[in-house]
Amino acid sequence: MPADTAVPAGAAARPAAPQSPLAEFWSSFTENRGAVFGMVILVLIALTAVFADLIAPYSPIEQFRDFTKLPPVWDDGGNWRFPLGTDALGRDTLSRLIHGARISLFIGLSVMVVSVVIGVCLGLVAAFAGGTVDSVIMRVMDLIIAVPSLVLCILVVAVLGPSLPNTIWAVTIVYLPRYVRLVRASALSEIGKDYVTAARVVGAGRLRLMFVTVLPNCIAPLIVQAALGVSDAILEAAALGFLGLGAQPPTPEWGSMLADSREFIRSDPWIVTLPGLAILITVVSINLMGDGLRDALDPKLKRS
Amino acid sequence: MIKYFLRRLALTLPTFVALMFVTFVMIRLVPGDPVEVRTGERGIAPERLAQLRHEMGLDQPIWKQFVDYVVGLLHGDFGTSLVTSEKVLTEFSVLFPATIELSLCAMLFAVLIGVPAGVIAAVKRGGPFDHGVMGASVIGFSMPIFWWGLLLIMLVSERWGLTPVSGRLDPIKFYFDSVTGFMLIDSILSGQEGAFLDAVQHLILPTIVLGTIPLAVIARITRSSMLEVLSEDYVRTARAKGLSPFRVIGLHALRNAMIPVVTSIGLQIGTLLAGAVLTETIFSWPGVGKWLIESIARRDYPALQGGIMLISSIVIMVNLLVDVMYGAINPRLRHAR
């Protein structure tokens, strides 16, 4: 998570604290047990994703034709060779879930990074330029918000064609307005302050004012939004995968695994249950951590 | 007040124009020729092709096509489906009541459970009920609802046999003409015994699935807004006057605590419609969400274009209405930027 790099900047906006900013952040973050729990789970999932090739017993696309639709080991007829069972084509569910973690986290992080970068630039430009530029940018964002998120994703995918990179683009476009609005609003509230005027008088250029003077003071809410944005992006991408508009087979994406297994809900409930559970656990852990970040970084937003 | 309304309305105009432009450009960017979709892949005589292109206005210069499209929209013409050759608006208005019925039920479900849960959690802050509500709301908020739907079908419909798996009504037992498009009302009007109960049974699971995320959001917002209000001076005064806790919470606090909750309901219209796409697909609910997905599968781009135009317009108008209602309730907002 980008938290470590940005914490000093977020904390610098507050009056000098006796603790170092990082220590202060950490102590208020760890106060929230849910957030720590979420972080631990998330780290485990991230490690699984990074070392997927080492951990997974099989290749996610290898088909064992003699072992199709095996239940997990704790169910009747389970086989220790395939601890979580196999799907209709005889692929090992555990291996597919492990590799799916890589894909889902990759989607979530890419969407977050791309939309934060573009969102920060557009938001700062809107705030600093004002006038027509501001209006045009904000009206485009209004337009994106007006279309229900999934419908807009579907529209973008319909134009670009279904694939993993296009899923990322579609979800990025949908989530862009939040970042633009957030950055613009916090930049506008900073622009009038004395330190910005001082920097301007000293002769700081526009780019310096935007990215060096103002941006660090807008960063705390941005981190919170970005963390929650990762979980939303994972959900949205899984929904697209479920509708057959996301990653294409045989990619072991959790949403498309669910779509493949839909016809088996009567006969083999496990094939349907496990990928969804993986999505749920990942998203819950990110949201728990995001809540902790919010409480620690942004006292104004603190939910009592 | 009227001035405020007009100003807000004027602000949405550029959004509408941009929406028209985007939906127009989109249909031209989509791979595949609309004429080909209609004629199939075997191909037809070039003269017939030219004739079809002419009929669909595709031989006109691009700016003329756009003008025609906008003029059509302003006359309420949202295009014609390539597959059924029906007007998009006609198809949409047949299906839309099903989506509204589902969305309203989901919202009602979310409010009826979410508000009391949030209030009790706030009053019993820090207790087991509070922890339970907060935990459940994180899970609900994070729920992949397409999976949630499948899970419920698996348990409730398949294993326990309590509810039907799909659709709005049992087509074998009941048949009647649609009067209002709302199955709950139509089934009563039909006078057929058991029809209403059947309609309700069909609604239960889709309502829960679509209502889950709003429920989590509403419970959370109610709780935090209630906590804030409970620490206000006027609540303390009401308590000091010796009013019963029920009056203090139910009358004095709840009324003010509901303001953010009502806002969040207004803001969730878009989320609800997006969720409806998934919910309708899972439960074969014949609404606009399922229809949109099918339009993609059938490469029926005019239907997709018109459908998106219609849905987005509705969302814009609802948001405008919510905004204006706020202006009416809270005069401070009228003069804000």
> Are B326 and B185 contained in the same domain?
yes
> Are B101 and B185 contained in the same domain?
yes
Q: Is A19's pLDDT higher than 80?
A: no
> Are B60 and B209 contained in the same domain?
no
Least confident range of A254-258, B211-215, B324-328:
B324-328
Domain ends where: B75, B103, B125? B75
Contact B110, B102 (CB under 8 A): no
Least confident range of A188-197, B223-232, B270-279, B320-329:
B320-329
Give the pLDDT of residue A116. 94
| CB-count exposure of residue B42 (10 Å: 0-12, 13-18, 19+) | exposed
How many C-beta atoms lie closer than 10 Å to residue B155's C-beta? Answer: 13
Domain ends where: B49, B75, B101? B75
Least confident range of A242-251, B23-32, B86-95, B229-238:
B23-32
Q: Which residues pair with A86 in a beta bridge?
A: A92
**Distance from the first to the final alpha carbon of chain A:** 24
Give the pLDDT of residue A47. 94
Give the pLDDT of residue A171. 93
SS3 A178: helix
> Are B47 and B129 contained in the same domain?
no
Shortest distance, CA A8 to any CA of chain B (angstroms): 29
**Residue B80 covered by a domain:** no
Average the pLDDT over A20-36 and give the result: 83
What band does B2 get if pLDDT is binned at 50, 70 and 90?
confident
Shortest distance, CA A292 to any CA of chain B (angstroms): 12
Q: Is A11's pLDDT higher than 50?
A: no
Q: Is A20's pLDDT higher than 80?
A: no
Least confident range of A164-173, A179-188, B29-38, B227-236:
B29-38
> Which of A147, A154, A266 is facing B158, going by the closest CB pair?
A266
**Residue B220 covered by a domain:** yes
> Are B257 and B317 contained in the same domain?
yes
* ipTM metric: 0.85
Tell me the chain A residues in contact with residue B270 when contact means C-beta distances shorter than 8 Å.
145-149
Q: Is A192's pLDDT higher than 70?
A: yes
Phi, psi of A86 (to 5 degrees): -130, 165
Give the pLDDT of residue B173. 79
Q: How many A/B residue pairs have CB atoms within 8 Å? A: 129
Average the pLDDT over B270-274 and give the result: 82
3-state SS of chain B is CHHHHHHHHHHHHHHHHHHHHHHHHHHHHCCCCHHHHHHCCCCCCHHHHHHHHHHCCCCCCHHHHHHHHHHHHHCCCCCECCCCCCEHHHHHHHHHHHHHHHHHHHHHHHHHHHHHHHHHHHHCCCCHHHHHHHHHHHHHHCCCHHHHHHHHHHHHHHHCCCCCCCCCCCCCCCCCCCCCCCHHHHHHHHCCCCHHHHHHHHHHHHHHHHHHHHHHHHHHHHHHHHHHHHCCHHHHHHHHCCCCHHHHHHHHHHHHHHHHHHHHHHHCHHHHHHHHHHHHHHHCCCCHHHHHHHHHHCCCHHHHHHHHHHHHHHHHHHHHHHHHHHHHHCHHHHCCC
> In terms of pLDDT, which residue wins out, B251 or A179?
A179
**Residue B85 covered by a domain:** no
> Are B58 and B128 contained in the same domain?
no
Give the pLDDT of residue B198. 86
Give the pLDDT of residue B257. 83
**Residue B46 covered by a domain:** yes
Tell me the chain B residues in contact with residue A265 when contact means C-beta distances shorter than 8 Å.
150, 153-154, 158
Give the pLDDT of residue B220. 92
Taking CB atoms and an 8 Å limit, are A161 and B224 in contact across chains?
Answer: no
> In terms of pLDDT, which residue wins out, B2 or B150?
B150
Q: Is A1's pLDDT higher than 50?
A: no
Q: Is A150's pLDDT higher than 70?
A: yes
**Residue B272 covered by a domain:** yes
Tell me the chain A residues in contact with residue B228 when contact means C-beta distances shorter than 8 Å.
304
Number of compact structural domains in chain B: 2
Give the pLDDT of residue B72. 86
Average the pLDDT over B76-81 and give the result: 84
Tell me the chain A residues in contact with residue B22 when contact means C-beta distances shorter than 8 Å.
143
SS3 A79: strand
> Are B292 and B219 contained in the same domain?
yes
Average the pLDDT over B94-118 and give the result: 93
Give the pLDDT of residue A239. 92
Average the pLDDT over B296-311 and give the result: 84
> Are B193 and B249 contained in the same domain?
yes
Mean of pLDDT over chain A = 84
Give the pLDDT of residue B133. 93
Percent of chain A with pLDDT over 90: 34
The pLDDT tens digits of the residues spanning A199-252 come to: 988 888 888 888 888 888 888 889 888 988 999 999 999 999 998 888 888 888
Shortest distance, CA B282 to any CA of chain A (angstroms): 9
Q: What is the CATH number of the domain that holds B270?
A: 1.10.3720.10
At CB < 8 Å, which residues of chain A contact B?
A: 34, 139-140, 142-143, 145-151, 154-155, 158-159, 161, 231, 235, 238-239, 242-243, 245, 255, 258, 262, 265-266, 269, 272-273, 275-276, 279-280, 283-284, 286-288, 291, 303-304
Q: Is B167's pLDDT higher than 80?
A: yes
Taking CB atoms and an 8 Å limit, are B277 and A145 in contact across chains?
Answer: no
Domain ends where: B26, B50, B75? B75
Average the pLDDT over B313-327 and give the result: 80
Q: Is A5's pLDDT higher than 60?
A: no
- Mutation site for A-interface testing, chosen from B147, B292, B322 by largest number of A Cβ within 10 Å: B147
Q: Is B48's pLDDT higher than 70?
A: yes
Contact A258, A280 (CB under 8 A): no
Q: Domain containing B16: what range?
A: 1-75
Least confident range of A120-129, A169-178, A204-213, B207-216:
A204-213
> Are B189 and B285 contained in the same domain?
yes
**Residue B95 covered by a domain:** yes
> In terms of pLDDT, which residue wins out, A64 or B98?
B98
Q: Is B55's pLDDT higher than 70?
A: yes
How many C-beta atoms lie closer than 10 Å to residue A139's C-beta? Answer: 16
| Separation between Cα atoms, residue B166 and residue B154, nearest integer Å | 12
SS3 A153: helix
**Residue B162 covered by a domain:** yes
Average the pLDDT over A160-180 and give the result: 91
Tell me the chain B residues in contact with residue A155 when contact means C-beta distances shorter than 8 Å.
26, 304, 308
Q: Is A12's pLDDT higher than 50?
A: no
The pLDDT tens digits of the residues spanning B304-317 come to: 888 888 888 888 88
> Are B1 and B149 contained in the same domain?
no
What band does A7 get if pLDDT is binned at 50, 70 and 90?
very low
Taking CB atoms and an 8 Å limit, are B146 and A258 in contact across chains?
Answer: yes
Mean of pLDDT over chain B = 84
Give the pLDDT of residue A99. 92
What band does A260 get if pLDDT is binned at 50, 70 and 90?
confident
> In terms of pLDDT, which residue wins out, B58 or B61?
B61
Taking CB atoms and an 8 Å limit, are B139 and A242 in contact across chains?
Answer: no
* A-chain residue closest to B136, CA distance: A284
Contact B315, B273 (CB under 8 A): yes
Phi, psi of A79 (to 5 degrees): -135, 130
Tell me the chain A residues in contact with residue B18 when contact means C-beta distances shorter than 8 Å.
139-140, 143
> Are B114 and B214 contained in the same domain?
yes
**Residue B7 covered by a domain:** yes
Give the pLDDT of residue B158. 83
> In terms of pLDDT, which residue wins out, B146 or B173?
B146
Both tokens of A272, joined, read 């349907």
| Separation between Cα atoms, residue A210 and residue B322, nearest integer Å | 34
> Are B20 and B101 contained in the same domain?
no
Q: Is B213's pLDDT higher than 60?
A: yes
Q: Is B89's pLDDT higher than 70?
A: yes
